Chains A and B, each alone.
Chain A
Amino acid sequence: DAGITQSPRYKITETGRQVTLMCHQTWSHSYMFWYRQDLGHGLRLIYYSAAADITDKGEVPDGYVVSRSKTENFPLTLESATRSQTSVYFCASSEQGGNSNSPLHFGNGTRLTVT
């Protein structure tokens, strides 16, 4: 089915472990985004990508790494997970950027718990 999918849906990991959250979209959208959502903070942008091999930091990038070797995939890696990274992570995509007003389309999120 067309859309944006995230995996896994739920993940529990230990402090210090590396963990990768996957995001895949079938629309061939140029732009992809990673947000985290925490109580009291709303949605905060971690990283975004304008196209394959082009990525940039958002509001809260520390502790995260992204890559975009293919247009349809935008994985998010926590290199050494910390408890403060316990959150719900949302991936999003949009058709265009810059002056475009095309909306963002979100996945259903990955709930990550770091113990």
Chain B
Amino acid sequence: DAKTTQPPSMDCAEGRAANLPCNHSTISGNEYVYWYRQIHSQGPQYIIHGLKNNETNEMASLIITEDRKSSTLILPHATLRDTAVYYCIVRFKPSGSARQLTFGSGTQLTVLP
């Protein structure tokens, strides 16, 4: 499996951009990069995913390096409600006809007032 490395924790000032890095140096050509977050006491929430190109949606932007060995999730204007654990995932495991996602330890992002 492609493994991911994320810093265990980060702080960000409210209103500033939060840039969350993820290393995935063993990613293979057909593996997507997914980002989820988990706010305390809630289920994981899908944020964004991408393969090669940078992606943007209403929640965040995803920047993937050209060699695809790392990526950055950008929350353009962090708010206190963005405080959560952010998971970077680059492996889904086809098993028969099904698929899974393997969650690592993630980054605890704390947005400070």
A interface list, Cβ under 8 A from B: 31, 33, 42-43, 45, 48-50, 56, 58, 90, 92, 94, 97-101, 103-109
Contacts and interface: CB of A to CB of B under 8 A. Distances in A.
B97 A98 contact: yes
A45 B98 CA distance: 12
A97 B43 CA distance: 20
7 contacts: A43-B44, A43-B103, A48-B98, A97-B97, A97-B99, A101-B32, A104-B36
Interface of B: 32, 34, 36, 41-46, 49, 51, 92, 94-101, 103-106
Given A42-B105, A101-B49, A94 B99 contact: yes
A33 B100 contact: yes
Given A45-B100, A98-B99, A101-B51, 6 more contacts: A31-B99, A42-B104, A42-B105, A56-B95, A103-B34, A104-B44
Contacts, number: 57
Contacts of B100: 33, 45, 48, 58
A103 B46 contact: yes
Contact of B98 (A42, A56, A101, A107): A56
A107 B38 CA distance: 11
Chain A binding surface, main DSSP class = strand
A101 B101 CA distance: 11
A76 B92 CA distance: 22
A96 B98 CA distance: 8
A43 B44 CA distance: 10
A50 B97 contact: yes
Contacts of A109: 41-43
A109 B36 CA distance: 16
B103 to A, nearest CB: 4
Contacts of B105: 42
